[in-house]
C-alpha cells in the first residue's frame, strides 16, 4: 500500500522480541517512511540503541531528560512535544505487559509513555509476552481499555514462546505489523477534499422551564466519526446536541439543544457538505405545548400531549444533491435489518449504520458498538464489537469506496 512519506515513531520496550523491531524498522523505511526510534530503559537491556541508530540513521531517543542536540532541533519546543506533533503514527512493538498497563492508565514516566499521551497520531500496539502474562486478567483489562479508546492492537501469535511455554503471546509477524501501520497511514488523507457534516448527541425537547424530554445518547459515536474524518483529511462540521463529552479538536462545532435547532443548523450548512452523517439521536417527540412555569407535582397525575418532531433526515432527503453521500443511523431494539432497510429506502440513504441498542457493548453511552452496515444495494456487513472510533473508520472506509464508485 503506497503512501507519501510519513513520519513514524517506533517505540521498543523491554521484551525478548525487541530485536524483531529492527526488522520492522527496515520494512517501514523500505516504504519510504522516516522512522524515529524510542527505546525504554528495559529495552536497552535486550538490544543496543546503536543497532537502531545505525539502521535509521537517526539518534535513538532513550531518555526524557537528555538534551536534544542543537542540530536536530526543528523549533524551540520540548522534544517529546515536538515529536508528538510531527509524527503521523506511533507504533509500539514489541509492547510489554508493563507498557500496556502504563498506556491504559495514562502513566507517563518515560519518553515513550509521555509521547503516547502527548500525540494525537494513531497508536498501534503489538504486544509480546509470556502466555500467562498475556492471559492475566490485568492485561486483558488493559487491552480492552486501549481497544475501547481506539488503539489498534495487533494480536500476538500463538506458538512456542521464548520462555519455553506454548500459547498466545509471541510478537505478531513483523510484516503483519508493518501492514497495519501502512494501512493506518494510507487512511490518513483519503478523505482530503471532503466536507463532512455530522450530527452528534441527543436533542432535548422542553416540557417546562426546568424539564425536558431527552435520551441517553452521549455524543460518543458522532464525535468518533468527526475525529476519524478529521484525521483522514476531511473538513468536518458537527452539529451537536447537549453531548456528555467535548467535541474533538480541529472540528467546527455548532451546539444546539432542540430538534428544531438541529434541523435549522443542518439545513443551513447542507449545501457545503460532500457527505452527511446523521449520528445524532434526535428526539422523536416534543410537547405540543411547553408550560411557561414549572409544572407542580401537587397537581397530581400529568398527561403530556406529544407530537412528532421534525424529520431532519426526511428534509435532507428532498434537498440533498446526488453527489452528496448520505449516511443514517438506526438504533433499534427489534428487527434490526428490516428496520434499517426500510429507513435506507424511505430516506434514500447510501448507508445505514444499524445497531441493536439492547445488546451489551452497543448503543448509548458506552465506548464500544456492535453495528451492521446496510447498503443501498441491499447488501449488509455485520461487524463485531469494536470501539466507536474503529467503527467510525469502518464507516468511512465504506464511504471512500462509495465515493470511488460514484466518480
Is 107 near ligand FMN (CB under 6 A)?
A: no
Catalytic member of 55, 118, 144, 163: 163
Q: Toward ligand FMN, which CB reaches closer, 119 or 188? A: 119
Binding segment for ligand FMN (CB under 6 A), chosen from 128-136, 191-199, 278-286, 368-376, is 128-136
What span, in angstroms and rounded, lies between the C-alpha atoms of 41 and 12? 10
Single out the residue of 37, 133, 266, 371 in contact with ligand FMN (rule: CB under 6 A).
Answer: 133
Single out the residue of 9, 10, 11, 13 in contact with ligand FMN (rule: CB under 6 A).
Answer: 13
Binding segment for ligand FMN (CB under 6 A), chosen from 12-20, 144-152, 207-215, 269-277, is 12-20
Nearest to 183 by CA among 232, 235, 236, 144: 232
Is 14 near ligand FMN (CB under 6 A)?
A: yes
71 labelled catalytic: no
Which helix (DSSP H) or strand (DSSP E) does residue 85 occupy? helix 79-86
Q: Are strands 89-95 and 123-127 parallel, antiparallel or unpaired?
A: parallel
Taking the complex as a whole, the smallest distance from the CB of residue 392 to ligand FMN amounts, in Å, to: 30
Helix spans in 173-327 (H): 174-187, 220-231, 259-269, 312-319
Q: What contacts 24+ positions apart, CB below 8 Å, involve 384-387? A: 385/361, 386/147, 387/147, 387/148, 387/149, 387/150, 387/224
Place of cell 537502531: 52
Helix axis angle for 388-406 and 174-187, nearest 10°, is 60
Helix spans in 206-308 (H): 220-231, 259-269
Taking the complex as a whole, the smallest distance from the CB of residue 170 to ligand FMN amounts, in Å, to: 9
Q: Toward ligand FMN, which CB reaches closer, 160 or 304? A: 160
- What length is written for the chain? 407
Taking the complex as a whole, the smallest distance from the CB of residue 401 to ligand FMN amounts, in Å, to: 38
What span, in angstroms and rounded, lies between the C-alpha atoms of 358 and 27? 44
Among left, alpha and beta (phi > 0; psi -120 to 50; other), residue 365 is left
Coil, strand or helix: which one is 177? Answer: helix
Taking the complex as a whole, the smallest distance from the CB of residue 40 to ligand FMN amounts, in Å, to: 3
Taking the complex as a whole, the smallest distance from the CB of residue 256 to ligand FMN amounts, in Å, to: 45
Are the C-beta atoms of 7 and 86 separated by less than 8 Å? yes
Q: Toward ligand FMN, which CB reaches closer, 115 or 277? A: 115
Q: Toward ligand FMN, which CB reaches closer, 29 or 42? A: 42
Are the C-beta atoms of 302 and 224 separated by less than 8 Å? no
Q: Toward ligand FMN, which CB reaches closer, 72 or 109? A: 109
Is 96 near ligand FMN (CB under 6 A)?
A: yes
What span, in angstroms and rounded, lies between the C-alpha atoms of 339 and 234? 30
Q: Toward ligand FMN, which CB reaches closer, 99 or 188? A: 99
Strands ordered across the beta sheet of 380-382 = 252-255, 235-240, 195-200, 275-278, 325-332, 351-356, 372-375, 380-382
In this structure, the number of other CB atoms found within 10 A of the CB of residue 356 comes to 18
Binding segment for ligand FMN (CB under 6 A), chosen from 15-23, 81-89, 339-347, 392-400, is 15-23
Q: Toward ligand FMN, which CB reaches closer, 14 or 328? A: 14
Single out the residue of 21, 22, 28, 97 in contact with ligand FMN (rule: CB under 6 A).
Answer: 97
Is 131 near ligand FMN (CB under 6 A)?
A: no
Is 253 near ligand FMN (CB under 6 A)?
A: no
**Which positions from 24 through 83 interact with ligand FMN, judged by CB under 6 A?**
40, 42-43
Size of the site for ligand FMN (CB under 6 A): 15
Q: For ligand FMN, which residue has the nearest CB?
A: 15
What residue ranges bind ligand FMN (CB under 6 A)?
13-17, 40, 42-43, 96-99, 128-129, 133
Residues marked active site are found at: 163
Amino acid at each position: 500500500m503506497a503512501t507519501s512519506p510519513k513520519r513514524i515513531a517506533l517505540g521498543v520496550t523491554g521484551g525478548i522480541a525487541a530485536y524483531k523491531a529492527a526488522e520492522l524498522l527496515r520494512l517501514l523505511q523500505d516504504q519510504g517512511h522516516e522512522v524515529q526510534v524510542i527505546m525504554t530503559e528495559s529495552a536497552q537491556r535486550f538490544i543496543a540503541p546503536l543497532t537502531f541508530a545505525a539502521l535509521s540513521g537517526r539518534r535513538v531517543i532513550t531518555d526524557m531528560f537528555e538534551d536534544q542536540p542543537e542540530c536536530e532541533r526543528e523549533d524551540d519546543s520540548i522534544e517529546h512535544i515536538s515529536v508528538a506533533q510531527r509524527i503521523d503514527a506511533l507504533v509500539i512493538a514489541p509492547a510489554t505487559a508493563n507498557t500496556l498497563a502504563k498506556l491504559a492508565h495514562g502513566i507517563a514516566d518515560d519518553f515513550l509513555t509521555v509521547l503516547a499521551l502527548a500525540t494525537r497520531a494513531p497508536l498501534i500496539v503489538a504486544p509480546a509476552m509470556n502466555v500467562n502474562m498475556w492471559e492475566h486478567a490485568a492485561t486483558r483489562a488493559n487491552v480492552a481499555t486501549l481497544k475501547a479508546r481506539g488503539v489498534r492492537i495487533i494480536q500476538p501469535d500463538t506458538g512456542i514462546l521464548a520462555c519455553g511455554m506454548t500459547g498466545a503471546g509471541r510478537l505478531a509477524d513483523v510484516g503483519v505489523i508493518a501492514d497495519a501501520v501502512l494501512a493506518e497511514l494510507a487512511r490518513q488523507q483519503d478523505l482530503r477534499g471532503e466536507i463532512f457534516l455530522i450530527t452528534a448527541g441527543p436533542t432535548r425537547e422542553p416540557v417546562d422551564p426546568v424539564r425536558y424530554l431527552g435520551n441517553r445518547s452521549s455524543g460518543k459515536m458522532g464525535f468518533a466519526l468527526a475525529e476519524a474524518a478529521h484525521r483522514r483529511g476531511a473538513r468536518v462540521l458537527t452539529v451537536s446536541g447537549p453531548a456528555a463529552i467535548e467535541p474533538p479538536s480541529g472540528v467546527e462545532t455548532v451546539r444546539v439543544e432542540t430538534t428544531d435547532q438541529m434541523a435549522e443548523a443542518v439545513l443551513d450548512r447542507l449545501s457545503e457538505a460532500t457527505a452527511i452523517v446523521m449520528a445524532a439521536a434526535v428526539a422523536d417527540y416534543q410537547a405540543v405545548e411547553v408550560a411557561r412555569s414549572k409544572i407542580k407535582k401537587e397537581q397530581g397525575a400529568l398527561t403530556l400531549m406529544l407530537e412528532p418532531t421534525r424529520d431532519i433526515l426526511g428534509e435532507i432527503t428532498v434537498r440533498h444533491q446526488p453527489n452528496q453521500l448520505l449516511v443514517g443511523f438506526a438504533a433499534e431494539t427489534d428487527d434490526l435489518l428490516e428496520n434499517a432497510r426500510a429507513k435506507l429506502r424511505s430516506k434514500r440513504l447510501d448507508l445505514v449504520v444499524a445497531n441493536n441498542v439492547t445488546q451489551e457493548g452497543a448503543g448509548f453511552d458506552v465506548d464500544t458498538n456492535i453495528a451492521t452496515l446496510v447498503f443501498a444495494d441491499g447488501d449488509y456487513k455485520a461487524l463485531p464489537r469494536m470501539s466507536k472510533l474503529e467503527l467510525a473508520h469502518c464507516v468511512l472506509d465504506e464511504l471512500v469506496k462509495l465515493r470511488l464508485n460514484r466518480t
